[in-house]
Amino acid sequence: MESKGQYLPRGNHTTLMDFILLGFSDVPDLQEFLFGVFLIIYVIILMGNSLIIIITQIDPSLRTPMYFFLGNFSSLEICYVSVTVPRLLTDLCRQSRSISFLACATQMYFFLVFGATECFILTAMAYDRYVAICNPLLYPLIMNNRLCIQLAAGCWITGIPVHIGFTYLIFSLPFCGSNQLNHFFCDIPPILKLACGDTFTIEILVYTIAVLVVTIPFMLIFGSYVKIISTILKLPSAAGRAKAFSTCSSHLVVVALFFGSGIISYLRPKSSHSTGMDKLLSLFYSIVTPMFNPIIYCLRNKDVLVALKKFLPKWIVI
């Protein structure tokens, strides 16, 4: 295993020019198996989310705010996993797993931006369900095309300036020790472990941004669903309650999977961090959860299932 990186003198320190992503090098006999597993997962994510994007664009019955945001969410999932999985697959096939300082910073930046965007889009989707169920008569007026575009644009753009500065601060730290990054991508906790300066300020900033980007959206979603469930329970018929709940159950499952693993990863105390647990949680929220998302939305959403049944036979014939 390659263990020596390039260093550049800077004042009284030597600054790392590259990192070694150890990934899953501790299980050399499983490299081919892991490559196959992650490749299959990546293909499922690409195909599943691409299918959702296509049917939400071509099926007239799915041209609603709910499916507009679902299309955005599927596009985001493809971007999100493409930041880490292609690199992981490449590293599983080669001996040299070095990643340059700039490439590592770029990977972390896009991973954080897309992660923040996912939090915001899930919040916008919760707001859409809140208006649809709690204010059905005003729904077409409130969730008009202009507002949907503004919400989607805000979700995609908001995280960009915040994480430019945040990523710059992290990679401005001195890295003068080992260059071995015991992870499969450039995530915050393993990077901070390699810094030889005082990381207390950065760690406080991590918690602050996590609260703004993860906790506040989660609380907004939680508040929306408290109101949604309260409204559903007041509906007079069991069929009405079942139909109302079916329109938001898929979103609720995805929120639980994504926010649950994200909050545990970034808001748990530093003393409870372990390399094995960090890798497992990262695998879950960066690869496994995006794989489940199209499956959940396709199997639990009747409108999507109907659209798929109409679309797939035509596509197979072609």
pLDDT digits (tens, 9 = 90+) for 268-289: 666 666 667 778 888 888 898 8
Which residue blocks in 135-182 are alpha helix, DSSP H? 139-142, 145-171
Give the Cα separation of 109 and 163 in Å (integer).
6
Q: Three-state SS for 63?
A: coil
Q: Tell whether the model's pLDDT for residue 235 goes beyond 70.
A: yes
**Which helix (DSSP H) or strand (DSSP E) does residue 180 occupy?**
strand 180-181
Q: Cβ–Cβ contacts within 10 Å for residue 234, how many?
A: 8
Looking at residue 315, its pLDDT comes to: 61
Mention every residue, 6+ apart, whose C-beta is less than 8 A from residue 73: 118, 121, 122, 125, 293
pTM: 0.89
| Locus of tokens 């550049």 | 8
Structure tokens at 165: 């500065």
Rounded CA separation 151/173 (Å): 35
- What pLDDT digit, counting tens, does each position of 177-200 carry? 788 999 999 999 889 988 887 888
Contact yes or no for 23/91 (Cβ under 8 A): yes
pLDDT cut 90: percent of the chain above it: 51
- Are 58 and 311 in contact by the 8 Å Cβ rule? The answer is yes
What's the rounded Cα separation, in Å, for the pair 208 and 215? Answer: 10
pLDDT of 17 reads: 76
Percent of the chain that is helix, strand, coil (3-state, to 5): 75, 5, 20
